[in-house]
Amino acid sequence: MLQKLFRFHGGVKPAYHKEPSIREPIGAVPMPGELVIPLHQSIGGPPHPLVKAGERVLKGQPIGAPDGNVSSSVHASTSGRVKAVEMRLAPHSSGLAALSVVLEPDGLDEWIERRPVPWRDLPSSGVRDALRDAGVVGLGGAVFPSHLKVNPGKDGKLDTLVINGAECEPFITCDDAQMRERGERIVRGAAILGDLTRAERILIGIEDNKPEAVAAMERYAAAVGDPRIRIVAVPTRYPAGGAKQLIRVLTGIEVPHGQRSTDYGVQCFNTGTSLAVFEALELGQPLISRIVTVAGNVARPRNYEVPFGTPMRHVIDLCGALPDTDRVIMGGPMMGYLMPADTVPVVKATNCILVGSARLFPPPPPEMPCIRCGECAKACPADLQPFELYWFAKAKIFGKAQEYKLFDCIECGCCAYVCPSRIPLVDYYRFAKSEIWAREREKSAADEARERYEFRLHREEREKQEKAAKLAAKAAATREKLAAAKEGDAAPAPGAPSAEEAKKALIAAALEKAKAQKAAVGTPANTDHLTPDQQAQVAEIEARRAHLKEVAQSVRPKDDE
Amino acid sequence: MLAALLVMAVGALVLGAALGYASVRFKVEGDPLVEKIDAILPQTQCGQCGYPGCKPYAQAVAKGEADINQCPPGGEEGIRKLADLLGREFKPLSAEHGVEKPKSVAVIDENLCIGCTLCIQACPVDAIVGAAKQMHTVVSAQCTGCELCLPPCPVDCIVMQPVGEDVENWKWKYPVFTLHRRAG
């Protein structure tokens, strides 16, 4: 049966350069001398460290606990000793450090006990917790915690589950290699995801420039024999691998601004994520490694299965970086992030280590003024107006940029790719987005402070009133007591005692009480029963004090002068 | 003549009644201008403006008693926003009220703290936890950096620590061409 395909707006066709890295099968990486595993590897709250320096950990043992539900666990990639839990340079464009677990492998590669998760018998919340605790996140690059996506949406069932094997970005072939070699697990994982989301059909979309992957996946799908699963070759056009774009191509559905694809009965997972789900649930293996493409300015580009925390340089060395190498990019040439150094670790988001040089990626020519040609709007796969976003970001009019749906921008880089003025448009969007986020953080902090301040004022007022009420009650009680005592002791004077008399009586009673207390305490106890020695000491100190007093008095008049 | 007077009088009465009813029915609680000004202020509650909190300062600005340049934590950007809102001229931060500082949070040196609770009483947003003769600590997520806890501390164990940049709050820089050339 032929699948009717649709077209997404815009897109570009860059040179793909995929061939060199897919010639060899997926390679294994020898264990490096040190693994640096950053704790925060996914969207959401940063996980809390579970280990301390000096502890021995096993392969797959949790080392970071999720911070709330919008977070994901982190595990040790091999067995060994924890050297430190400290700030280390993060694989992030900022060049800043992040809390990481530094692990010294012991070479034994000893697993924790692995037990398959009985996901068929568990309630859906139990399966979600299992995925969270296995650290499964979206491996397409966005690292969104997968357990948050495994739900059938409002209707209780999905129309279509899309498995994204499009892999549209140049140079990257990790999903391609995985589909060729480990397709069965991907298909089985897709079936599990289909069951969890109650999907009626499962479409695995693969760009048609990967015929081997399509053929392999068709073979695996036939072997697994799930009637819901269909492999669909989609036209090669960047960014067909964007979730919204692939959903559009496969189902014709355009997910509008501010809505989720599940509202339209569609959900999308990456092929790598599908495989990770299979391994987490059926094999009980947490996510501790991934397939990484090493490509670009290297002698032997190839895909490797890399344990998280491996320094990028360790993997690059296997491929032989060419001498003119001057940069390392995490991700592809269109959407990748420049790394501050080649020593940063491979993390869950690392689909590709792109080694660059000035020859491969010549420095961009100078930015020219925008001529409003509209090419960027023609290329934008998110149907935005990039030139408007550019104006607003450049002029720092962030409110307007948001009105023009800046946050629907997927930073695919198509606009910058086609721009005849060579404006680094995505850099402007990233700048504007992070400024807006910072402002929103400030705003919510201010709102919280206002609320807390107002509550404090309210609390102080309440406490004052409570105290006053308490005092009044106490005074009334004493007054009553006194009145009662007087009545009992002597015949009451004609008429009730006046207010003044009552007050006087109160004061007298208080004085009496204080006197009694003083008498009870008596003289300070610690000067009684002293030895003669101590008495001599006390006398000496008293003498010194008296002398000092005299001196002070003799000096003071002089000060006044 | 009489008819005309009558018509005008009745008209005035009807309209007056309608206006009177509307002013009761659609009465706006609080001063909307104060709310707007308060929304711009950083809610540090530090009192550097000379008022006991952000809201009182907002009220004073709305009444025209205070100037718009008395809020150091709001900084230049805050003054600009206030100037925009109130249609006034921008003016630099008044020096007598303080200087704009990078955002900081208070940190208690737990080795020195004697547990006197004075800082707890001073904190306008209840961001310090502790009890008498127990160690105190600052909940840094809630600290506004107002510095009001510094003077009451009898052992000077509180210091202000600037909030550094980390991977979470790092911002992309404004694109500058030379940045690209130096890449790598």
Packed helices B54-63 and B32-40: angle between N→C axes, nearest 10 degrees: 130
- pLDDT value, residue B143: 93
- pLDDT value, residue B179: 46
Distance (Å) from the alpha carbon of A444 to chain B's nearest alpha carbon: 10
| pLDDT surpassing 70 at residue A527 | no
Of A40, A363, A441, the CB nearest to B180: A363
The residue ranges of every structural domain in chain A are: 19-357, 367-483
B167: nearest Cα among A42, A348, A408, A449: A42
Amino acid type, A307: P
pLDDT tens track for A254-284 = 999 989 999 999 999 999 999 999 999 999 9
| pLDDT surpassing 60 at residue A461 | yes
State the distance between the two ends of chain B, measured CA to CA, in whole angstroms: 93
CB A163 within 8 A of CB A271: yes
Q: Mean pLDDT over residues B74-94, rounded?
A: 90
β-pairing, A289-296 vs A158-165, is: unpaired
- pLDDT value, residue A497: 55
**How far does CA B25 lie from the centroid of its chain?**
31
Asked if the C-beta of B170 comes within 8 angstroms of chain A's C-beta atoms, the answer is: yes
Asked if the C-beta of B121 comes within 8 angstroms of chain A's C-beta atoms, the answer is: no
The residue ranges of every structural domain in chain B are: 32-97, 102-164
| pLDDT surpassing 50 at residue A239 | yes
Determine the CATH number of domain A19-357: 3.40.50.11540
Q: Which residue has the higher pLDDT, A517 or A112?
A: A112
Q: Mean pLDDT over residues B96-114, rounded?
A: 90
Of A326, A364, A456, the CB nearest to B124: A456
Chain A interface with B: residues with Cβ < 8 Å: 40, 46, 90, 92-94, 96-98, 326-328, 338, 356, 363-364, 366-367, 424, 427-428, 430-431, 433-435, 437-438, 441-442, 445-450, 452-457
- pLDDT value, residue A151: 84
Contact B170 A434 (CB under 8 A): yes
Instruction: Give the CATH fold of the B102-164 domain.
Output: Alpha-Beta Plaits (3.30.70)
What is the rounded CA–CA span in Å between residue B155 and residue A111?
52
Sign, Cα dihedral of A478, A484, A487, A493? positive
Q: Is the ipTM of this complex over 0.85?
A: no
* Location of structure tokens 């997404």: A8
- pLDDT value, residue A560: 44
Q: Which of A93, A450, A451 is most worth mutating to test chain B (most B CB atoms within 10 A of its CB)? A: A450
Query: If you write DSSP's letter for every residue of B123-155 in order, what string do you get?
Result: -TT--EE--TTS--EE-TTT-----TTTTT-TT
- pLDDT value, residue A204: 96
Mean pLDDT of all residues belonging to chain A: 91
| pLDDT surpassing 90 at residue A548 | no
Contact A456 B175 (CB under 8 A): no
CB A56 within 8 A of CB A277: no
pLDDT tens track for B146-167 = 999 999 999 999 999 998 888 8
Distances (CA, A) of B93 to A60, A192, A260, B51, B70: 56, 61, 45, 16, 6
pLDDT tens track for A365-389 = 888 999 999 999 999 999 999 999 9
Two tokens, residue B40: 């711009």
Rounded to 10 degrees, the C-alpha dihedral B3/B9/B14/B16 comes to 160
- pLDDT value, residue B150: 93
> What are A290's strand-pairing partners?
A306
Contact B177 A452 (CB under 8 A): no
**CA count, 13 A, side-chain hemisphere, A93:** 19
A425: nearest Cα among A437, A413, A433: A413
Which residues in chain B are contacts of A450 at CB distance < 8 A? 38, 43, 54-55
| pLDDT surpassing 80 at residue B31 | no
Window 25-54 of B, Cβ < 8 Å to A = 38, 41-45, 53-54
- pLDDT value, residue B165: 85
- Among A291-300, A440-449, A496-505, A529-538, where is mean pLDDT lowest? A496-505
Burial of A292 (0-12, 13-18, 19+ CB in 10 A): buried
The CATH class of the B32-97 domain is: mainly alpha
A97: nearest Cα among B106, B164, B175, B182: B164
- pLDDT value, residue B164: 83
Asked if the C-beta of B165 comes within 8 angstroms of chain A's C-beta atoms, the answer is: yes
pLDDT tens track for A308-360 = 999 999 999 999 999 999 999 999 999 999 999 999 999 999 999 999 999 99
B98: nearest Cα among B138, B55, B47: B47
- pLDDT value, residue A153: 78
| pLDDT surpassing 50 at residue A561 | no
- pLDDT value, residue B98: 87
What is the rounded CA–CA span in Å between residue A67 and residue A43?
11
- pLDDT value, residue A342: 93
Backbone angles phi, psi at B161, to 5 degrees: -115, 125
Of A98, A431, A452, the CB nearest to B175: A431
Contact B174 A455 (CB under 8 A): no
- pLDDT value, residue A408: 95
Of A96, A453, A454, the CB nearest to B165: A96
| pLDDT surpassing 80 at residue A524 | no
CB A504 within 8 A of CB A512: no
A199: nearest Cα among A128, A151, A233, A132: A151
Distances (CA, A) of A505 to A114, A489, A495, A516, A518: 82, 14, 16, 16, 20
Q: Which of B34, B41, B43 is most worth mutating to test chain A (most A CB atoms within 10 A of its CB)? A: B43
Which residues in chain A are contacts of B57 at CB distance < 8 A? none
Burial of A419 (0-12, 13-18, 19+ CB in 10 A): buried
pLDDT band at residue B184, thresholds of 50, 70 and 90?
very low
Q: What are the residues whose beta carbons fall under 8 Å from the beta carbon of A113, sequence distance 6 or more? A: none
Q: What are the residues whose beta carbons fall under 8 Å from the beta carbon of B70, sequence distance 6 or more? A: B48, B49, B50, B57, B94, B97
Q: Which residue has the higher pLDDT, A381 or A487?
A: A381
Peptide bond preceding A239 in cis form (omega within 30 of 0): yes
Two tokens, residue A262: 């599940």
The SS3 of residue A213 is: helix
Report the percentage of chain B scoring pLDDT > 90. 56
Q: What is the 3-state secondary structure (H, E, C) of A93-148?
A: CCCCEEEEEEEEECCCCCECCCCCCCCCCCCHHHHHHHHHHCCCECCCCCCCEHHH
pLDDT tens track for A57-116 = 999 999 999 998 899 999 999 999 999 999 999 999 999 999 999 999 999 999 999 999
Contact B172 A433 (CB under 8 A): yes
